[in-house]
Amino acid sequence: MTELSTFWHIWVSVIIIGSMVACGALIIVTKKGQKYDEETDQTTGHSFDGIDELDNPLPKWWVYFFWSTIIYGFGYILYFGIGDWTGFRDWSSHGQWQEEMAKAEEKYKPYYDKLNAMTIEELAKDEEALATGQRIFASNCSVCHGPTASGSEGFPNLTDNDWLFGGTPAAIKHSILNGRNGAMPANGLKPNMTDTERTDIVAHVLSLSGREGSGDAAKGKTLFAQACTACHGADGKGLQAVGAPNLTDNIWLYGGSEAKIDFTIRHGRAGVMPAWKDILGEDKVHVVSAYVYSLSQNQE
């Protein structure tokens, strides 16, 4: 649960208190010196379909009820607080959440201590540990990688053996703990690349996985050596140290059609995997790492 900054506490407080004050001012202004329940023949000047709108004051019961809600609102603020002020009760939803989380951490600490005493390889063979890891994954990771961890465009498939930053237990845990930032610059290391040159490079990239493009693959190979090999290597098999993907297979994070590859080279890519160390804690990251590791162990 993320703490709000002081600005947002003030912003919320001003909107809430300001709205309540504005409602009270509206009641006073609309009274216009009239007595409540005092009917009049004076109209507002608004007429529709032969019906005139009378300028009668608000009913007394309605006004009193409206004032009571405003007074109740201020009483609620004084008792429960607003923004980062906890009120006379000294309570906040965030404080209650922290208290409940502390109780849960204390309750489940022995269980996670037992799991953390095991290696990721050992956990990957433990059905109970995998069930725990799957629940953590479903609650935190499936929104991007999908409920079956098969990914989607822009989000890696975690069930195969194609890993941008490495698929060893240590590499997977590092990715989850600290997050990853994948950055491909537009046009690689050749920022002044022309459309024709880009088309030729795309043709060469397609040839690496046994396909043909509309450009000249031979020229594209020379251009690829200038603009792309620093990360993807001369053979196009990528470099896990920087998260550069293998271009010789048919696994494409952002799509492998000629148009998609052209778009990727033209505009670049900036993939971000958030760090989960401070969100889940190292104990849960250790367990979910074992679950993710297990997903690709039955792949050839």
Whether residue 12 is contained in a domain is answered as yes
What pLDDT score does 32 carry?
Answer: 65
Which residues 6+ apart lie within 8 Å of 139 measured at CB? none
Judge if 173 and 203 occupy the same domain: no
Judge if 109 and 219 occupy the same domain: no
What pLDDT score does 40 carry?
Answer: 67
Judge if 242 and 215 occupy the same domain: yes
pLDDT by position in tens, the chain (length 300): 556 788 988 999 999 999 999 999 988 887 766 665 666 677 777 778 878 877 777 788 888 999 999 999 999 999 988 887 888 888 877 788 889 989 998 999 999 999 999 999 999 999 999 999 999 999 999 999 999 999 999 999 999 999 999 999 999 999 999 999 989 999 999 999 999 999 999 999 999 999 999 999 999 999 999 999 999 999 999 999 999 999 999 899 999 999 999 999 999 999 999 999 999 999 999 999 999 999 998 655
Q: DSSP character for 95?
A: H
Judge if 30 and 41 occupy the same domain: yes
Judge if 190 and 256 occupy the same domain: yes
Whether residue 229 is contained in a domain is answered as yes
Judge if 195 and 269 occupy the same domain: yes
What pLDDT score does 28 carry?
Answer: 87
Q: pLDDT per residue over 74-93, tens digit each?
A: 999 999 888 878 888 888 77
Residue 50: alpha-carbon gap to chain centroid: 55
Angle between helices 282-295 and 169-178 (to 10 degrees): 130
Judge if 168 and 249 occupy the same domain: no
- Alpha helix stretches (DSSP H) within 141-267: 142-145, 169-178, 195-208, 217-227, 229-232, 258-267
Residue 155: alpha-carbon gap to chain centroid: 12
Whether residue 88 is contained in a domain is answered as no
What pLDDT score does 284 carry?
Answer: 96
What pLDDT score does 85 carry?
Answer: 83
| Euclidean distance between CA atoms 145 and 282, whole angstroms | 20
| Euclidean distance between CA atoms 71 and 77, whole angstroms | 10
Whether residue 194 is contained in a domain is answered as yes
Judge if 63 and 111 occupy the same domain: no
Judge if 167 and 279 occupy the same domain: yes
Judge if 245 and 205 occupy the same domain: yes
Q: pLDDT per residue over 158-206, tens digit each?
A: 999 999 999 999 999 999 999 999 899 999 999 999 999 999 999 999 9
Residue 96: alpha-carbon gap to chain centroid: 24
Judge if 70 and 187 occupy the same domain: no
- Is-contact 133 291, C-beta < 8 A? yes
Distances (CA, A) of 225 to 54, 133, 230: 82, 42, 8
What pLDDT score does 6 carry?
Answer: 86
Q: Which domain holds residue 26?
A: 6-80
Judge if 166 and 215 occupy the same domain: no
* Overall domain count for the chain: 3
